[in-house]
């Protein structure tokens, strides 16, 4: 029986392009005693995923399109990119 977040597992991956490896990782965490494995999947807003988001309440959108556009502008104008990571917002 799980009573706290201490019994949860975290999976960090830059891209879930192979669902088999993702499912294997969750199964391994459960085998090792994790009760809560996938509470939330963070997805950037660079690629459309609205249909997938409608299928699962666990998918949260992380807005990075403005950061990417500013990075491109900074690179093209040979400007500093030190301020790019300010004000990143997670949309619910």
Q: Say if residue 28 is in the same domain as residue 67.
A: no
Residue 41 banded pLDDT, cuts 50, 70, 90: confident
What is the DSSP code string of 26-85?
HHHHHHTT-SB--S-EEEETTS--HHHHHH-TTEEEEE-HHHHHHHHHHHHTT---TTTT
What value does the mean pLDDT of the chain take?
80
Q: Say if residue 18 is in the same domain as residue 61.
A: no
* Domain with 79 in it: 40-92
What pLDDT, in 10s, does the model give residues 46-60? 888 888 889 889 888
pLDDT over 60 (residue 92): no
Report whether 45 contacts 65 (CB < 8 A): yes
Domains of the chain: total:
2
pLDDT for 72 equals 92
Q: Say if residue 24 is in the same domain as residue 44.
A: no
Q: Say if residue 47 is in the same domain as residue 86.
A: yes
Q: Say if residue 53 is in the same domain as residue 85.
A: yes
Q: Say if residue 58 is in the same domain as residue 76.
A: yes
Q: Say if residue 90 is in the same domain as residue 49.
A: yes
Residue 89 banded pLDDT, cuts 50, 70, 90: low
- 58 beta partners: none
Vertex 71: Cα angle to 62 and 73 (nearest 5): 130
């Amino acid at each position: 029986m799980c009573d706290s977040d201490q019994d949860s597992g975290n999976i960090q991956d830059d891209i879930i392009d192979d669902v088999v490896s993702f499912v294997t990782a969750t199964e391994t965490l459960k085998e090792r005693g994790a009760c809560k494995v996938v509470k939330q999947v963070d997805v950037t807003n660079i690629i459309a995923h609205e249909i997938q988001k409608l299928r699962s309440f666990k998918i949260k959108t992380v807005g990075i399109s403005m950061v990417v556009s500013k990075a491109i502008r900074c690179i093209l104008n040979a400007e500093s990119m030190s301020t790019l990571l300010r004000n990143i917002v997670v949309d619910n």
